[in-house]
């Protein structure tokens, strides 16, 4: 089990504090700004929660580094190094937050030597705390989590996301991926509007596989270790090793199902999270 228990416990405690801000603002009117596309939004609460998390963590661990969604959006350089690093999405599901659709999460992963040591996903409205430390299993509100173990794709409940990319190529590949899976067939396709919570459904066994193209490292870094510690498999959509910077992920209940989905879906081109704009 990880040597980073103090950081893990501190992460849980500040996540719960930050969620009070999310919940207070949930029903209120929000001033919304558009980022990369009409479906990529930010509110004052996203920035406030990220600032609160980073300043609390920095105060306690002054040498640690951060990759935060809104700091990167504001122009901060994104680089994952060997230094202990907190990867933060202050609100995963900002579009849901704006509409008051009740799936929003705070997602925090912690890496050392580029390896994830723990992940915390707090689904604020549901009051569900998903977490995992490397080698220590995965938990939901203190209860152990296990993937379904399903190996038959035709019996799978699939979770995916439409995502924030709105160009014709991305939309056509995204919809044809769903079409191909539905015609396999699979039992169904679902989308909650937050990659972090979607992926945690695989960890609970409530869904059998999740895939997504175009999300960012802060959306899925925490839930990736939660799925792995629940006994699941996480890989790139091309079947290669999971790379949180690649903007492609499959999280599945079994290697067989992950491989079947990798064979069925196509990815559209996305600039890596750690690639600098030209």
Q: So which residues are the catalytic ones?
A: 69, 89, 91-92, 94, 219
- Between residues 112 and 215, which has the closer beta carbon with respect to ligand IPD? 215
Binding mask 159-188 for ligand IPD (x = CB under 6 A): --x-xx------------------------
Q: List the alpha helices (DSSP H) in the chain.
A: 5-26, 44-60, 69-73, 94-99, 168-182, 195-204, 217-229, 255-264
Cβ neighbors of 272 (< 8 A, separation 6 or more) are: 245, 246, 247
Cα distance between residue 32 and residue 24, in whole Å: 17
Contact with ligand IPD (CB under 6 A) among 11, 193, 205, 232 = 193
68 binds ligand IPD (CB under 6 A): no
Tokens of 124: 């604020």
Segment lying near ligand IPD (by CB under 6 A), choices 21-29, 211-219, 231-239, 259-267: 211-219
Q: What is the CA radius of gyration of the chain?
A: 17
If binding is defined by CB under 6 A, does position 273 make contact with ligand IPD?
no
Q: Which does 195 bind (CB under 5 to 8 A by kind): ligand IPD, Ca ion, none?
A: ligand IPD
Reduced DSSP (H G I as helix, E B as strand, rest coil) percent helix, strand, coil of the chain, to 5: 35, 25, 40
Determine, following the binding rule CB under 6 A, whether residue 219 of this chain makes contact with ligand IPD. Answer: yes
In terms of CB distance, is 216 or 260 closer to ligand IPD? 216
Among 195, 199, 200, 202, binds ligand IPD (CB under 6 A): 195
Q: To the nearest whole angstrom, how small is the minimum distance from the Cβ of residue 194 to Ca ion?
A: 9
Task: Strand 65-68: give its sheet, edge to edge.
Answer: 65-68, 85-92, 105-112, 115-123, 128-133, 138-140, 143-144
Identify what 151 binds: Ca ion, ligand IPD, none; CB under 5 to 8 Å per kind: none
What is the distance between the alpha carbons of residues 250 and 199, in angstroms, rounded to a whole number? 9
Indicate which of ligand IPD, Ca ion, none lies near residue 215 (CB less than 5 to 8 Å, by partner kind).
ligand IPD
Q: Beta 85-92 vs 65-68: how paired, if at all? A: parallel
Is residue 214 within the footprint of ligand IPD (CB under 6 A)? yes
Site for ligand IPD in 70-129 (CB under 6 A): 89, 92-94
- Among 220, 226, 276, smallest CA distance to 247 is for 220
- 93 makes contact, choosing from ligand IPD, Ca ion, none, with CB < 5 to 8 Å by partner type, with ligand IPD
CB 109 within 8 A of CB 119: yes
224 DSSP β-pair partners: none
Contact residues for ligand IPD, defined by CB under 6 A: 40, 69, 89, 92-94, 161, 163-164, 193-195, 214-216, 219
């Amino acid at each position: 089990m990880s040597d980073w228990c103090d950081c893990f416990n501190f992460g849980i405690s500040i996540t719960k504090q930050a969620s009070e801000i999310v919940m207070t603002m949930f029903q209120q009117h929000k001033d919304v700004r558009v980022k990369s596309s009409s479906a990529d939004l930010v509110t004052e609460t996203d920035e406030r929660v990220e600032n609160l998390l980073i300043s609390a963590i920095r105060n306690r661990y002054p040498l640690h580094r951060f990759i935060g969604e809104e700091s990167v959006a504001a122009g901060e350089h994104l680089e994952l190094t060997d230094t202990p690093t907190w990867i933060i999405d202050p609100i995963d599901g900002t579009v849901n937050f704006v509409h008051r659709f009740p799936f929003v999460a705070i997602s925090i992963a912690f890496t050392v030597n580029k390896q994830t040591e723990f992940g915390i996903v707090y689904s604020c409205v549901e009051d569900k705390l998903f977490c995992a430390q490397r080698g220590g299993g995965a938990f939901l509100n203190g209860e152990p989590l296990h993937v379904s173990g399903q190996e038959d794709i035709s019996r799978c409940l699939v979770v995916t996301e439409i995502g924030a990319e709105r160009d014709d190529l991305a939309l056509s590949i995204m919809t044809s991926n769903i079409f191909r899976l539905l015609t396999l067939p699979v039992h169904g396709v679902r989308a909650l509007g937050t990659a972090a919570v979607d992926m945690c459904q695989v960890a609970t066994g409530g869904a059998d596989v999740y895939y997504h193209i175009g999300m960012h490292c802060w959306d899925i870094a925490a839930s990736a270790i939660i799925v792995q510690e629940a006994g699941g498999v996480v890989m790139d959509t091309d079947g290669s090793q999971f790379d949180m910077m690649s903007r492609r992920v499959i999280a599945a209940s079994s290697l067989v199902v992950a491989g079947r989905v990798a064979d069925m879906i196509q990815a559209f081109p996305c600039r890596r999270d750690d690639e600098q704009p030209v």
